[in-house]
Structure 1
Amino acid sequence: MQFISCYRQIWHILFHSLISYAIMLTFPAGSMEILVFLLSMGHVSVCHIYRQLYDYGGYTLDITGPLMINVQRISSLACSLADGRVKDQSKLSSSRKQHAVKKNPSLLELLSYVFSFHNTICGPFAFFDDYQAFIEGNTAKKLQNGDMSKQSSSSEPSPFWPVLKKIFFAFFYVFLALKVVPIFPISTLRESSFQDKSFLIKMFLVIMITTAQRPKYYFAWSIGEAANNNAGFGISGYDGKGNAKWDLVNNADVAQIEFCTSLKVLLDNWNKTTTYWLRHVVYDRVPAFKMLAVFAVSGTWHGFYPGYYITFFTGFLFTTAGRSIRKCIRPMFQGSKQSQFLYDVITSISTRVVLGYLTFSFVLLEFEPSWIVLKYV
Structure 2
Amino acid sequence: MDKKGNTDIAFKTTGCTWLSLVSDQVGVPLDQVNFIACQVFGLAVAFWFRLCLNPQRTTPEVRHAVATIIGASFVMFCFGWYAIHVFILVLACYGIMIKASVHKVHRYTMIASLGYLTVCQVSRVFVFDYGILSTDFSGPLMIITQKITTLAFQVHDGMCQKQEELTDDQRRLAVHSMPSLLEYLSYNINFMSVLVGPCSMYKEYIEFIKGQHVQHRLKRVKDTSSQQNGWDKIPEPSPMTATSFKSFIDNWNIQTALWLKSVCYDRAPYYRMPLTFVLSAIWHGVYPGYYFTFITAIPITLAARSVRRNFREYFLSSRGLKICYDVVTWAATQLTVCYTVMPFLLLAVEPTMQYYRSMYFHVHVISILAMILLPSKPSGFKPEIHARHSNNNVKEN
TM normalised by structure 2 equals 0.67
| Residue 87 to residue 304, structure 1, CA distance change in 2 (3 Å) | closer
Larger Rg: 2
Match of 1:22 in 2: 95
Residue among 113, 126, 141 paired with 2:187: 113
| Residue 87 to residue 346, structure 1, CA distance change in 2 (3 Å) | closer
Alignment of 1:137-176 (within 5 A): 137-147=211-221
Match of 1:365 in 2: 347
| Residue 343 to residue 85, structure 1, CA distance change in 2 (3 Å) | same
Match of 2:266 in 1: 284
Give the Cα–Cα distance (whole angstroms) in 1 for the partners of residues 103 and 222 of structure 2.
30
Residue among 317, 322, 332 paired with 1:350: 332
Using the TM superposition, give the Cα deviation of residue 350 of structure 1 relative to its aligned residue in structure 2, in angstroms: 0.5
Give the Cα–Cα distance (whole angstroms) in 1 for the partners of residues 290 and 208 of structure 2.
35
Q: Tell me whether 1:42 sits opposite 2:24 in the alignment.
A: no
Give the Cα–Cα distance (whole angstroms) in 2 for the partners of residues 7 and 149 of structure 1.
47
Residue among 257, 263, 282 paired with 1:275: 257
| Residue 7 to residue 113, structure 1, CA distance change in 2 (3 Å) | farther
Using the TM superposition, give the Cα deviation of residue 29 of structure 1 relative to its aligned residue in structure 2, in angstroms: 2.5
Amino acid paired to 1:64: S
CA contact (8 A) 1:305 1:365 kept: yes
Q: Deviations over 1:83-133 (max 9, x none)?
A: 001352111011211211111111111111111102111111111112111
Using the TM superposition, give the Cα deviation of residue 8 of structure 1 relative to its aligned residue in structure 2, in angstroms: 2.3
Q: Tell me whether 1:299 sits opposite 2:281 in the alignment.
A: yes
Q: Tell me whether 1:94 sits opposite 2:76 in the alignment.
A: no
CA contact (8 A) 2:143 2:199 kept: yes
Q: Deviations over 1:317-373 (max 9, x none)?
A: 111111111111101111111110110011011011101110111011111111111
CA contact (8 A) 1:144 1:150 kept: no
Q: Tell me whether 1:70 sits opposite 2:147 in the alignment.
A: no
Match of 2:81 in 1: 8
Q: Tell me whether 1:317 sits opposite 2:391 in the alignment.
A: no
Residue among 250, 253, 256 paired with 2:238: 256
Amino acid paired to 1:40: S
Residue among 310, 320, 328 paired with 1:328: 310
Amino acid paired to 2:164: S
Give the Cα–Cα distance (whole angstroms) in 2 for the partners of residues 69 and 87 of structure 1.
26
Give the Cα–Cα distance (whole angstroms) in 2 for the partners of residues 321 and 114 of structure 1.
38
Amino acid paired to 1:107: L
CA contact (8 A) 2:105 2:156 kept: yes
Q: Tell me whether 1:308 sits opposite 2:290 in the alignment.
A: yes
TM normalised by structure 1 equals 0.70
Match of 1:375 in 2: 357
Amino acid paired to 1:373: Y
Using the TM superposition, give the Cα deviation of residue 22 of structure 1 relative to its aligned residue in structure 2, in angstroms: 1.6
Q: Deviations over 1:50-101 (max 9, x none)?
A: 0000112223132111111110010110000000013521110112112111
Residue among 85, 88, 109 paired with 2:159: 85
Q: Deviations over 1:190-209 (max 9, x none)?
A: xxxxxxxxxxxxxxxxxxxx
Structure 2: gaps of 5 or more residues = 1-12, 17-77, 360-397
Amino acid paired to 2:294: F
SS in 1 for 2:238: helix
Q: Deviations over 1:120-152 (max 9, x none)?
A: 11111111112111111111222244356789x
Give the Cα–Cα distance (whole angstroms) in 1 for the partners of residues 223 and 196 of structure 2.
29
Match of 1:133 in 2: 207
Q: Deviations over 1:223-244 (max 9, x none)?
A: xxxxxxxxxxxxxxx975xxxx
CA contact (8 A) 2:103 2:160 kept: no
Using the TM superposition, give the Cα deviation of residue 293 of structure 1 relative to its aligned residue in structure 2, in angstroms: 0.7
| Residue 145 to residue 22, structure 1, CA distance change in 2 (3 Å) | farther
| Residue 87 to residue 47, structure 1, CA distance change in 2 (3 Å) | closer
| Residue 38 to residue 87, structure 1, CA distance change in 2 (3 Å) | closer
Structure 1: gaps of 5 or more residues = 152-237, 241-252
Match of 1:218 in 2: none
SS in 1 for 2:200: coil
Amino acid paired to 2:82: Q
Q: Tell me whether 1:33 sits opposite 2:15 in the alignment.
A: no
CA contact (8 A) 1:73 1:126 kept: yes
User: What is the Cα-based RMSD across aligned positions, in Å?
Assistant: 2.1
CA contact (8 A) 1:143 1:149 kept: no
Give the Cα–Cα distance (whole angstroms) in 2 for the partners of residues 69 and 342 of structure 1.
40
Q: Tell me whether 1:265 sits opposite 2:338 in the alignment.
A: no
Match of 1:104 in 2: 178
Amino acid paired to 1:361: P
Using the TM superposition, give the Cα deviation of residue 42 of structure 1 relative to its aligned residue in structure 2, in angstroms: 0.4
Give the Cα–Cα distance (whole angstroms) in 1 for the partners of residues 128 and 349 of structure 2.
17
Q: Deviations over 1:210-264 (max 9, x none)?
A: xxxxxxxxxxxxxxxxxxxxxxxxxxxx975xxxxxxxxxxxx7x6111211111
SS in 2 for 1:300: helix
SS in 1 for 2:198: coil
CA contact (8 A) 2:124 2:132 kept: no
Give the Cα–Cα distance (whole angstroms) in 2 for the partners of residues 149 and 134 of structure 1.
20
